[in-house]
Amino acid sequence: MRSWQYYDARAGKLSDGSTAVIGGLQDNGTAVASTATSQMVEPAGGDGFDVIVDPANASNWVGEYTGGRYVWVSTKGWATSCTATACDWTRAFDTGAGHAVTALTSANSGSLVYAAWVAGGNPGPSFASGIATNYGGTWHQVSTTGLPNRYIAGVTVDPANPAHVYAIFNGYSRRFVPGGGVGHVFETFNGGQSWTDISGNLPDIASDALVLDHGKLALATDAGVFTAREGESAGTFWFRLGAGLPNASVNDLTTGPGDYIYAATHGRGVWRIRL
């Protein structure tokens, strides 16, 4: 587990009181590890990617292979099921032909959704990215004025305010992506009508996911994890979170049981720290 290449990892409690960590691996399926055991298992093969884990019962989880152009919604929670003739999933929105959803976040018990998407090659004239949402009552594309034209790796919504959202951009601002724009973390307080760059003093390096917890921000990047205080806006000051994290790309960052955040690294397994 200490050398696996994780794309994503999330944690939840098991009935014996231990914590399970489930994550998608490059070329090695979806892995399950527990604080009560020393042996990792692989219940799903192929190329693992994002996962959804029930924090109260880690026996409930969903794995993903790849994203498509559509946003699908179920109101049945962990009771969601599909048969050959019927399915609880309904198509909520089409991001567009040739598009693929790259990040998804929700609020209000899942009724409000923000979905980032990508299209075309990067770099290249056909490349495009954007964010769609049903904030305000109907599905629409948010304003991209002031946002970089790069891969959107993460979208985080404030659970206390569904109009307050962060967009996290991968890639580099100045090198390798001509015309890709500057900045990696952007914030909106009006559901995406306008955005503010809060990248502050961050290095110009690919960023992947953001956690908002206890009034603090934690950001996963290709150079580890950075943290800042919420609410500083354009003057946000970032600094490294904790010590001891291996020198590896952190592809995802999520909250979990025990007031920990979990860092899924691409090459050095999963690590956790209290924010």
- Please write down the HEC assignment for all residues of 126-156: CCEEEEEECCCCCCEECCCCCCCCCCEEEEE
Mark the ranges of the chain whose per-residue pLDDT is less than 70: 1, 122-124, 174-177
Contact present, 25 and 4 (Cβ < 8 Å): yes
pLDDT computed for residue 176 by the predictor: 62
Number of Cβ within a 10 Å radius of residue 5: 20
Domain coordinates in residue numbering, the chain: 1-66+242-275, 88-210
- Residue 79 DSSP SS3: helix
pLDDT computed for residue 22 by the predictor: 93
CA angle 150, 142, 255 (to 5 degrees): 70
How far, CA to CA in Å, does 140 sit from each of 65, 116, 195, 230, 249?
Answer: 26, 12, 16, 27, 33
pLDDT computed for residue 219 by the predictor: 97
- Please write down the HEC assignment for all residues of the chain: CCCCEEEEEEEEECCCCCEEEEEEECCCCEEEEECCCCCCEEEECCCCCCEEECCCCCCCEEECCCCCCEEEECCCHHHCCECCCCECCEEEEECCCCEEEEEEEEECCCCEEEEEEEECCCCCCCCEEEEEECCCCCCEECCCCCCCCCCEEEEEEECCEEEEEEEEECCCCCCCCCCCCCCCEEEECCCCCCCEECCCCCCCCCEEEEEEECCEEEEEECCEEEEEECCCHHHCCCEECCCCCCCCCEEEEEEEHHHEEEEEEECCCEEEEEC
pLDDT computed for residue 72 by the predictor: 94
* Cα dihedral 245, 238, 160, 89 sign: negative
pLDDT computed for residue 4 by the predictor: 81
- Residue 54 DSSP SS3: coil
The pTM of the full predicted model, rounded to 2 decimals, is 0.92
Contact present, 188 and 194 (Cβ < 8 Å): yes
pLDDT computed for residue 172 by the predictor: 86
Residue 16 CA to chain centroid, in angstroms? Answer: 29
Number of Cβ within a 10 Å radius of residue 89: 14
Which tokens is 125 given? Answer: 């004239």
User: Pairing relation of β-strands 112-119 and 140-141?
Assistant: unpaired
